A and B are shown apart, each in its own frame.
Chain A
Amino acid sequence: MSDSPNKSFTGKAAGIGKLLSRGWAVLLAATFLAVALPAAAHDDDEGGRVSVPHHIDAKGNKCVRDVEYMRRNHMDLLLHHRDETMHKGIRTTQYSLKNCIECHASKKNNSVIGTNENFCQGCHSYAAVKLDCFECHSSKPKAASGDALRPIVAPPAQPEGKDKQSDLSGMMPHKGTPTFNVLSGEKDRMRWQMQPKLASLNKGEGVK
């Protein structure tokens, strides 16, 4: 089956007579391509057992770092920042979990978790990585700061026919491609280096 398209195309170049004799092969090959190619193209999107998370929720139009960096390293940024805040009282907002939630809380339930459409849970569920931040941390932005921009209870009613997908489609440059609304051009805007972590932080100062 796999080499029949090549044979048939060679045959086509040679002449119509040969093509007629191998008519069935051409037909089969064409049918195969017609069916298989679109299916392959959509494998990343809907074809898998677990669909790729679609993340569109974000206030503003850029993250603190470019999207590729954040996908791979957000946990390191958060881990470093949590020690800085907890032990030293450094409360810059750039890499704080609170700041992430401020931007990425869903417009629907005002949270980053809850369903697989929510920013944090969506990706962690897809990657099968346990997400335990929110056993202690609030998954919602602070009410006072988010009131004006983000409805806490329910978003305004959408007109008939505007379901979720059609609603979100305007925000996504290419339907089916996960997008984080991050400008990749911002890559070098902030050059941030992991500081060597204080040795004392995790080693147990109480144990001598």
Chain B
Amino acid sequence: MSKVDNSRRNFIGAGAAAAAGLVIAPGVTLLDMANARPLDQPASSAKRWGMLIDSTKCATGCNDCVSACGKENGVASTGHPQTDPQWIRKIELKEVKSGLSHSLPMMCQHCAEPPCVDVCPTGASFKRADGIVLVDRHICIGCRYCMMACPYKARSFVHEEHHDQNPDVPRGKGCVEACTLCVHRIDKDQQPACVEACAAGNKGAMLFGDLNDPNSEISKRIATYATTQVRADLALNTGVRYQGI
């Protein structure tokens, strides 16, 4: 028998495993295999990116999404916890009467009617056509009005100089920043880092997809189960929704 190229076999095995992981049941996939947008095409309002977080699957003490975000976007502690930027955080909720507790990640909710965009005096805070709310740091003057306007405390001001950033995620002192939904990954047809980390840890508490596509897994779930928008009374139409709270 001829010599076996193990590296090749391992690669094929890994590929098959990855492909199997995508399909939960016929017609239902874990990852939305979005149609890749060509590099030269702008983001379109035909899509609206969103996230569904199942708090019943989100374990107290699990910090996978937060650390994955930090690693991907370079959000690390500078030794000043009072002012460290924070793109995503874990919060614990407890119902006083029953004692029922929930753990869930909180980050920019990518509102359809974002108050941060309304108050921005320079136009730095904006919503991309596909629903992702971003800060254009080239225009941001660091006034922090958006931080005041955000009901979710999702935005942070960068107080310290940064070095050795991820080339895909420029960050620097003097601007406001928040969760970008890993826009650089979405444009490459990848999932946000937090969602990927949650799935990698077999938690499956986070689902990312296109809210405008009725056939996407996230839309099917939202159509099937009761989901919540945090501070729905503000009618901001958030892109991040929660299940089980």
| A-to-B contact residues, CB < 8 Å | 82, 84, 86-93, 98, 101, 135-138, 140-142, 200-207
Contact = CB atoms under 8 A, between A and B. Distances in A.
A204 B145 CA distance: 14
A141 B119 CA distance: 36
Interface string B40-55: 1111000000000000
B166 A88 contact: no
A138 B167 contact: yes
Given A89-B183, A135-B173, A136-B162, A101 B120 contact: no
Given A138-B164, A206-B117, 6 more contacts: A86-B138, A87-B136, A92-B39, A136-B170, A136-B171, A205-B126
Interface string B189-213: 0000000000000000000000000
30 contacts: A82-B138, A86-B134, A87-B136, A88-B42, A88-B43, A90-B41, A90-B42, A91-B187, A91-B188, A136-B137, A136-B162, A136-B172, A138-B164, A138-B167, A138-B170, A140-B167, A142-B168, A201-B123, A202-B123, A202-B139, A203-B123, A204-B120, A204-B121, A205-B123, A206-B118, A206-B121, A206-B122, A206-B123, A206-B125, A207-B123
B29 to A, nearest CB: 24
> Of B117, B130, B139, B170, which is in contact with the most chain A CB atoms at under 10 Å from its CB?
B170
A91 B167 CA distance: 13
> Of A89, A135, A137, which is in contact with the most chain B CB atoms at under 10 Å from its CB?
A89
B148 interface: no
B167 A137 contact: yes
Contacts of A205: 117, 123, 126
> Of A84, A91, A204, which is in contact with the most chain B CB atoms at under 10 Å from its CB?
A91
Chain B interface size, under 10 / 10 to 19 / 20 to 34 / 35 or more: 35 or more
B120 A206 contact: yes
A101 B123 contact: no
A90 B137 CA distance: 17
A92 B41 CA distance: 9
Interface in B40-82: 40-43
A135 B161 contact: yes
A206 B133 CA distance: 13
Given A137-B167, A138-B166, A206-B119, A91 B39 contact: yes
Contacts of A203: 123
